[in-house]
Structure 1
Amino acid sequence: MKLKLLYTFLIGLLVVSCTSTSNKEEASDAVIDVMVPMVEGKETTYSTDSTVMIGYLAFDANDSSKRPGVIVVHEWWGHNEYSRQRADMLAELGYVALAVDMYGDGKQAAHPGEAGEFAGMVMGNFDEAKARFEAAIETLKNHPNVDDDKIAAIGYCFGGSVVLSMANSGYDLDAVAAFHAGLQLPVMPDSGTVKGRVLIAQGAEDPFIADQHISDFKAAMDAAGANYEYIEYEGAVHAFTSKGADSLGAKFNLPLAYNAAADSASWEKMKVLLSDAFMSN
């Protein structure tokens, strides 16, 4: 009789143990399902009075809450897969990101001469550039998951110059991050015009950025009382965040090169910038 009771007791412990383990696994799976983002990206069209633009919107489809929105402005090559990848990366961080089209009609440059022409047309008609940027901001704010009081912008190369110029123009951006950006801008800041925090991540060996450009830019930002951080990464040249930079540099005989360390470090700095800026807003 005692052996039978002992046997029954042991069987009961085994059942409870198995059930408990199963429940823990199911709970763990449920947590994983909730925590892992499901990035959804879709092409989106928006426009000014004169130009139709083809952008790309990325967000975590598993998260229905309101969250900050981030504008992503492309390199001088135009709106391409690279800017879309960056939008996806921002969506993985929990933001809603819009990779914009500053050239209109989704135009992409096939060679540096064409890229320079496209970029020059935008920066040379800055009122139109602002109209295109404003249309992008409104498109982002209209997304149902975007908290329209929390908007930032990041940009690469030409795009970095664009977001810096927009910050200097007084747009209500909580944060701006510019990567390997040109610093001779169509608009420099006046006192109080730069609303949010600014990060400028540059290659220390970038031959396109002269020392005078840097000193003039910093002097203007200091005089305007802007909250900014200027970082140079040793050994990095132009386009250091782009994995396609090496092939493009070789193809067109340009001083472009990817730098994994600088890419990673600057992205981490941007993550802290966005987090701090949005938390303080």
Structure 2
Amino acid sequence: MRYSLLGLLMATSFIAHAEIQTREIPYTAADGTRMVGYYAYDDAIEGQRPGVVVVHEWWGLNDYAKRRARDLAELGYSALAIDMYGEGKHTEHPKDAMSFMQAALADADAAKARFTAGLDLLKEQAQTDTARLGAVGYCFGGKVVLDMARQGVPLEGVVSFHGALATETRAVPGSVKARVLVEHGSEDSMVSPSDVAELNAEMVKAGADYQFVSLPGAKHGFTNPGADEHQKQGLDLAYSKTADERSWADMQRFLKETFDKAER
């Protein structure tokens, strides 16, 4: 097959300019708190594509959460890492992280409002197909996206990675509209076996479209390459390349199936 020099130059130029675009976007929660979103999309894709909210770990909106937004953009999604703490704050100290998390979860309605504010921001982006929306969350963020599914927030699907599973607001029959995927480490000491059993029973009773994956040998934080550093702080966290890659592949299949169904 023969290519013209002009054609090759045009193709090379297109590849050179097609890349992941990112920007920080300020927004405001219902309670007036200033929030910061981190938005990512692939400018090589024309038109709208499904949107995915990313909810950070208990550390806050840090580089890891932003990286996951870029990873999702590379898969072809319109991705927004949202801010659940306000001012885009984050920390490396467990005591601060616990304080931030507890404050964010103290009022379930306020937490939902903060998530919804981020979801609304994602909908406002020109690249987002507002009929196909999902959310993924890590650790604290895993609990957040599960709670949003429990409360019937209009999402097609949610994915929890090493998330907290216990909740004060349980799903009831018919309340879960989103498909649900939970990726959980079998050796996660921060989530009790009873929490796992109760979540499974809850989702079955609610009639949810629900999948639970137990990743052998994986501990809490298994997706985050920086997790091992926190062992020095006495936290039972550990990165697992195998569990990270397997859970990411599970998520890709899940989101594709979910959004394909929504498109029909």
Question: What TM-score results when the alignment is normalised by the length of structure 1?
Answer: 0.88
Q: Distance in 1 between matches of 2:17 and 2:177?
A: 33
Task: Look up the SS of the partner of 1:268 in the other structure.
Answer: helix
Could you tell me which residue of structure 1 aligns to residue 117 of structure 2? 135
* Alpha-carbon RMSD: 1.9
Q: Is the 8 A contact 2:152 2:178 kept in 1?
A: no
Q: Could you say which residue in structure 1 is the equivalent of 2:240?
A: 259
Query: 3-state DSSP class of the match of 1:21?
Result: coil
**Is this contact kept in 2: 1:196–1:277, CA < 8 A?**
no
Aligned to 1:70: 52
Which structure: greater helix fraction? Answer: 1
Query: How far apart are 1:33 and its partner, in Å?
Result: 3.7
Report whether the alignment pairs 1:272 with 2:253. Answer: yes
| Counterpart contact for 1:165–1:186, Cα < 8 Å | no
Whether the aligned pair in 2 keeps the contact of 1:152 and 1:176 (CA below 8 Å) is: yes
Match of 2:219 in 1: 237
Question: Quick one: which amino acid aligns to residue 134 of structure 2?
Answer: A
Q: Is the Cα–Cα contact under 8 Å of residues 180 and 239 in structure 1 kept in the other structure?
A: yes
Deviation >2 Å, runs of 4+: 20-37
Structure 2: stretches of 5+ with no match in the other structure:
none
- Residue 179 of structure 1, aligned match among 151, 161, 181: 161
Provide the aligned length of Structure 1 versus Structure 2.
261
Instruction: Determine whether 1:227 maps to 2:209.
Output: yes
Separation of aligned partners in 1, 2:52 and 2:186: 27
Structure 1, unmatched stretches of 5+, are 1-19
Asked if structure 2 preserves the Cα contact closer than 8 Å seen for 1:79 and 1:101, the reply is yes
Spell out, residue by residue over 1:60-89, the C-alpha distance to the aligned partner (whole angstroms, 9 max, x if none).
122231111000000000000000000000
User: Using the alignment, how far apart are the partners of 2:12 and 2:179 within structure 1?
Assistant: 34
Query: 1:116 and 1:261 mapped to 2: Cα distance?
Result: 28
- Indicate the percent of aligned positions where both proteins have the same amino acid: 40
Contact 1:37 / 1:92 at 8 angstroms: preserved in 2? no
Structure 1 residue 169 corresponds to structure 2 residue 144: no
Provide the rounded CA distance (Å) in 2 between the counterparts of 1:226 and 1:83. Answer: 27
Conserved? CA contact 2:158–2:180, under 8 Å: yes
Q: Which of 22, 26, 31 in structure 2 is aligned with 1:45?
A: 26
1:272 partner amino acid:
R
Normalization by structure 2: what TM-score? 0.94
Rounded to whole Å, the distance in 2 between the matches of 1:92 and 1:32 is 19
Aligned equivalent of 2:88: 106
Contact 1:76–1:118, Cα closer than 8 Å, also in 2: yes
